Amino acid sequence: MNRCVIFGGGEIADIRYTQNLLQKGDYIICADRGYAYCSSINVIPDLVLGDFDSYSGKVSPKCEILRYPIEKDDTDTMLAVKEAIRRGYQEILMVGMLGGRLDHTLANIQTLVYAVQHGESAQIIDKGCRITVIKDNQSVTIPYERGFHFSVFCHSDKAQGVSIRHAKYELEDADITNGFPIGVSNAFLPGEDAQVSVQKGILVIVANQGE
């Protein structure tokens, strides 16, 4: 299957940067106000869903629409991720997931974790920030970007066998917990991609632009 791109209703730092992330063949889902972002770049999504408490404008008749009640357990973003999984997409790119209300940002990161726990390859990306999740016996390469740092956080109670290689502060086969941010603010080696792996547990890896 091709990739699924989910537009959320958070802040997008640079809509043109986000537009350039889109690829031919992407299946695009807009969660509620995420539709406004697609509309601003003249992209017609395949599916628009949510409780429509933050977007009340018109939706293209070419879009499939799924409406949900405001009082529900799932956020609109979670509904979008579940729908992407149900439709067989195994790669998910999430945009419009950061900024604005902190509780929404944290909920979106938890939703990203949910996607990975259900077998997806998933990321949250905005200009200046990339969030990746890995779990049991997985590893990931964090691409070097000039002006970026990266941090590794434990999302589960404990993460065992954590290794960080090709970075200023390296770690080898260590255990970390969600109660102490030992992996915050690491630095890339000039021109080198970093590598992060974990034997057991869940890691959230945040690559940020800035000092």
Residues 148 and 165 in one domain: yes
In order along its 211 residues, the chain shows pLDDT tens digits of 689 999 999 999 899 999 999 999 999 999 988 999 999 999 999 999 998 887 778 888 999 999 998 888 999 999 999 999 999 999 999 999 998 889 999 999 999 999 999 999 999 999 999 999 999 999 999 999 999 999 999 999 999 999 999 999 999 999 999 999 999 999 999 999 999 999 999 999 999 997 6
Encoded tokens for 118: 């259900």
Encoded tokens for 179: 């109660």
Residues 106 and 13 in one domain: yes
Q: Global pTM? A: 0.92
Domain boundary among 127, 152, 178: 127
Q: Could you tell me the CATH number of the domain that includes residue 121?
A: 3.40.50.10240
What gap in Å lies between CA 183 and CA 195, rounded to an integer?
13
What gap in Å lies between CA 45 and CA 35, rounded to an integer?
8
Residue-range definition of the domain harbouring residue 122: 4-127
Residues 98 and 14 in one domain: yes
Residues 81 and 164 in one domain: no
